[in-house]
Amino acid sequence: MTYLYVVIVFAILILVFISRGMIIVRQASVVIVERLGKYYRTLDSGIHIIIPIFDKTRPIHWRYNKLDYRGNVVVVNKVEDRIDLRENVYDFPRQNVITSDNVSININALLYFQITDPYKAVYEIGNLPEAIEKLTQTSLRNVIGELTLQETLTSRDAINAKLRDILDEATDKWGVKVNRVEMQEILPPEEIRTAMEKEMRAERDKRARILQADGEREYQIRVADGEKQARIARAEGEAQAKKLVADAERQAIMLIAEAVKDSGTDPAQYQIALRYVEAFKEIVKQGDKTVVLPYESSALLGSVKTLGDIFQKS
């Protein structure tokens, strides 16, 4: 019976020893193992066996961001025995910085980083997340302190790139790769924001008035150009019409001249006869009931007779 108890106790100790000595590491994670307080090896993903009495996993201080019931970002500190090799993001609390023109602004930054060397991340720095946060805050103050408020508001990409280069170089000895830094919010004081909004409205109104003036000017130019083209077209039409009329009259005169020439009549008498007939037509068009013929009415009759002879001969 005593032997059975010894076997049971021994089996329990073996199971405890195996359970404490077997470590399962998930994908994209590593575990730092120390033997007798000294770095021994780094365990990759998979199943590993260690000696529980001599080997221990190195505890690591880590920081997580989570939302509370009010929707605010809360920082939670934990002690982990595993290092996550995936890209991590830190949403740092909003901090106050001062620009080169002495304007105090609040900036909220995001930092994306990835651990590339777990050994350095554990043994080169005491608290990696806190160190990265403090380094980001001080670097951000230095970068913003060299810029004016206007440059800060309009140079987010340049600020992000400069911060990324500074942090990546500084954290390289910690085994960390800073992939990118993003400025979420840049909040000037309330009076500055009000003045900027007024300035923006004034600028928009000015651009609107300029666009309206340009539109009116373009409209006037187009209208004037249209009127000019219309006048040119009318002038060309009138000139063409006059040319056609002149050609027709010339052709008629040539035909009449040929007829006069063939009839043997004096062209001068023919012209005088035409003048008499046209003058008589004008007198009749006046609408008077009484028409007074000139003393030389015989000349008019002779002219009519002359025209009749011409047309009979032609």
Shared domain for 238 and 281, answered yes or no, is: no
Give the 3-state secondary structure percentages of the chain, helix then strand then coil, rounded to 5: 55, 25, 20
pLDDT digits (tens, 9 = 90+) for 56-80: 888 888 877 676 677 666 777 788 8
Closest CA to 111 of 186, 179, 185: 179
Residue 310: inside a domain: yes
DSSP 8-state symbol, 59: P
pLDDT (average), residues 188-195: 77
pLDDT digits (tens, 9 = 90+) for 255-286: 766 766 665 555 556 666 666 666 666 665 55
Query: Does position 296 have pLDDT exceeding 60, yes or no?
Result: no
Domain that holds residue 107: 60-188
Shared domain for 169 and 144, answered yes or no, is: yes
pLDDT digits (tens, 9 = 90+) for 163-187: 899 998 989 999 999 998 888 888 8
pLDDT digits (tens, 9 = 90+) for 218-265: 888 888 888 888 888 888 888 888 888 888 877 877 776 676 666 555
Return the CATH number at 158.
3.30.479.30
Q: Which two tokens stand for residue 182?
A: 């993003």
35 sits in which H/E element: strand 29-35
The number of distinct structural domains making up the chain is 4
Quote the Cα angle for 63-152-155, to 5°. 95
Residue 193: inside a domain: no
Residue 296: inside a domain: yes
| pTM of the predicted structure, to 2 decimals | 0.56
